[in-house]
Amino acid sequence: MQQKVLIVIGDASETVDTLYPYHRLIEGGYKPVVAGPEVHRYNMVMHEVKPGWTITREWEGYTIQSDIAFKDINPDDYLGIFFSGGRAPEYIRYDKDLVRVTKHFFEKNKPIASVCHGVEIPAYADCVKGRKMATVPKCKFDLEVCGGTFVDEACVVDGNMVSGRTYHDHGYYMGEWMKLLDAARSKTDGIS
């Protein structure tokens, strides 16, 4: 049986932050399940600080269909979770069901990955105290005010959590998260 892994998105999720892990999960033999506030097609963006700019600029990206709404997620059905970046986390982090799901993955020590603004979700869910994480520097405050430690590196592994700063770091942290998923899958396969 293919293990399911959640990818958390909303409107203005970063295109590369979302599609790269989506396809890596398929490549690794997992079933990615795209979760959003509701089940419908979401607009993604290309999101970065361009040379000559001091703020993040966005362009329209691809769209992606969600498979499940946050309220319908039974987190016991999922091996791991990925918090995509872009501006979506700033808005969806307040969803009570997303907070419930997020807390489950931290409490159960399941494989978690976060990139860019994705940190805003576990930070709001009160799950980053004492944790080291990479994120985009403009989210450093969100992480630190909630008790986490900002690390400006391409890959930060802290127990069951792996994080990167931006989509430029995917090649560094994604493999580490896949290793955690593979180890968790091996444990559950042995139970079946």
| 72 pLDDT higher than 90 | yes
Q: What is the pLDDT of residues 35-69, one digit of tens each?
A: 999 999 999 998 777 788 877 777 888 999 999 99
Structural domain containing residue 115 = 4-191
Annotated catalytic residues are 117
103: enclosing H helix or E strand: helix 96-107
Q: Using an 8 Å Cβ cutoff, are 115 and 165 in contact?
A: yes
- How many structural domains compose the chain? 1
Query: C-alpha angle with apex 122: 34 to 150, nearest 5 degrees?
Result: 120
User: Measured in whole angstroms, how far is the alpha carbon of residue 118 from the centre of its chain?
Assistant: 5
Distance (Å, whole) CA 143 – CA 123: 6
Q: What is the pLDDT of residues 139-178, one digit of tens each?
A: 999 999 999 999 999 999 999 999 999 999 999 999 999 9
3-state helix, strand, coil in the chain (%, to 5): 40, 25, 30
pLDDT for residue 190: 63
Query: How many Cα atoms occupy the beta-carbon half-sphere of 33 within 13 Å?
Result: 20
Q: What is the bridge-based pairing of β-strands 149-150 and 156-158?
A: unpaired
Distance (Å, whole) CA 49 – CA 107: 34
CATH code of 186's domain: 3.40.50.880
Q: Using an 8 Å Cβ cutoff, are 41 and 10 in contact?
A: no
Q: Using an 8 Å Cβ cutoff, are 27 and 145 in contact?
A: no
